[in-house]
Amino acid sequence: NAGVTQTPKFQVLKTGQSMTLQCAQDMNHNSMYWYRQDPGMGLRLIYYSASEGTTDKGEVPNGYNVSRLNKREFSLRLESAAPSQTSVYFCASSEFTAGGELFFGEGSRLTVL
């Protein structure tokens, strides 16, 4: 039972390069999320997708784009990476349940030089 799978786990980019973080869940959840974690800041919501075909901005969406490819997959794209986007990125999924938990992937550590 894989749960939420993120790829790649580590990536180093140069300023201005682009990349896509991939996320897939096998729990048949409707909602998916991308968070970033920075030291002293906790986790901050970048984008979320309440259901297949919908995406919405979270707290810190600037510099990112997302695609909900199907019910299982939700990707995060950095079009022109900046050093401020150096962070650990977490994908999560959840069901349509008030107060229900989010299930997180193991994280993707991104360094932008």
Partner 1 sequence: DQQVKQNSPSLSVQEGRISILNCDYTNSMFDYFLWYKKYPAEGPTFLISISSIKDKNEDGRFTVFLNKSAKHLSLHIVPSQPGDSAVYFCAASDPLIQGAQKLVFGQGTRLTINP
Which stretches of the chain bind partner 1, using CB under 8 A? Answer: 4, 30-31, 33, 35, 40-45, 48-51, 54, 56, 58-59, 90, 92, 94, 96-107
Q: How far is the CB of 58 from partner 1 (least distance, A)?
A: 7
Q: Whose Cβ is closer to partner 1: residue 56's or residue 79's?
A: 56
Q: How far is the CB of 17 from partner 1 (least distance, A)?
A: 24
Q: Whose Cβ is closer to partner 1: residue 35's or residue 78's?
A: 35
Q: How far apart are CA 16 and CA 103, in angstroms?
A: 31
Looking at residue 72, the DSSP 8-state letter turns out to be S
Q: How far is the CB of 15 from partner 1 (least distance, A)?
A: 26
The burial of 49, by beta-carbon neighbours within 10 Å (0-12 exposed, 13-18 middle, 19 or more buried), is given as buried
Q: How far is the CB of 79 from partner 1 (least distance, A)?
A: 24
Q: How far apart are CA 89 and CA 82, in angstroms?
A: 15
Q: Which H helix or E strand runs over 27?
A: none
